[in-house]
Amino acid sequence: MTRSFPETLAAAVVARGCPLVVGFDPRPQRLPQTFTRGASLPDAVTRFYRRVIDLIRDLVPCIKPQIAFFEAMGHEGFRAYEQTCAYARENGLLVIGDVKRGDIGSTAEAYARAHFAHADALTLHPLLGTDSVEPFLAYCRDAGKGVFVLVRTSNPSATEFQDLRCGDRTLSEHLADAVDRWGRSASPQGDYSAVGAVVGATWPDELGRLRARMPRAWILLPGVGAQGAKVEDLASAFDAHGLGGLVTVSRAATECFEPQDAAWEDKIVAAVAGLRSSTARLGTGDLR
């Protein structure tokens, strides 16, 4: 029997002792010079992330490659994305494909088929409604996959639409209710469902309110580090066992050095280890 995504994710978080997700957002100007000399950009990116995976695979449960940065390199960039995802999974890391897809009918089915081939979970836009999400939910039910639905994004102008009131609720609250509903459809059993949510760590005052509307959702929390959010403000996403939330960090983990710095490996390990320690204490459950 295929293990459900929430079961797999919880086991990985407990095994690594933290709920930290390292984002992979390849920026050519930030790669170590040792990889960029005499190499094509996609090859340099692939080799860099293979080494990063070697360094962090025992420290964190998940990586989150942002596909836009790979797609910007053309078809060879997509190959780099495929190879990076494959290498991470070979080394025991879960992959959250940050693809933010959202469409209907056969197009949604094609997106789900294409991207679940490389990732354990995907990020989704939900504004086209239930029929745009259903093809992805089928993979949650039948193949042990997961999704993270955008509910409250981390960017400042999220308020333009997500704060709009639709009846007695804001748009974000409607989306949170939908996440809970979809989760009960995809995962009727268990403490957590395969349908998670993206809630920006930059909105800590709203986090508890949205968590209350989707008690069975794993919450992906972007915004710590470069966007200014603080780890200590995120406790309301977590349960008594230190589960239920995932703190995502990209630049603070993989761009914590200058390209010419010979000690870049040590700096990545130190940065991830520090973030690992701080996130392990979230909630009332200490995962250390």
What radius of gyration do the chain's Cα atoms show?
18
100 labelled catalytic: yes
CA-based nearest residue to 103, from 119, 126, 121, 120: 126
Catalytic entry in 64, 100, 145, 267? 100
DSSP 4: P
**3-state DSSP assignment of residue 188:** coil
Rounded Cα–Cα distance for residues 144 and 160 (Å): 35
Other CB atoms within a 10 A radius of the CB of residue 58 amount to 12
CA-based nearest residue to 22, from 190, 274, 263: 274
Measured in Å, how far apart are the chain's first and last C-alpha atoms? 30
Rounded Cα–Cα distance for residues 36 and 159 (Å): 40
CB 259 within 8 A of CB 32: yes
CA-based nearest residue to 21, from 214, 190, 237: 237
Which residue bears the tokens 């204490």?
Answer: 281
Residues annotated catalytic, as ranges: 100
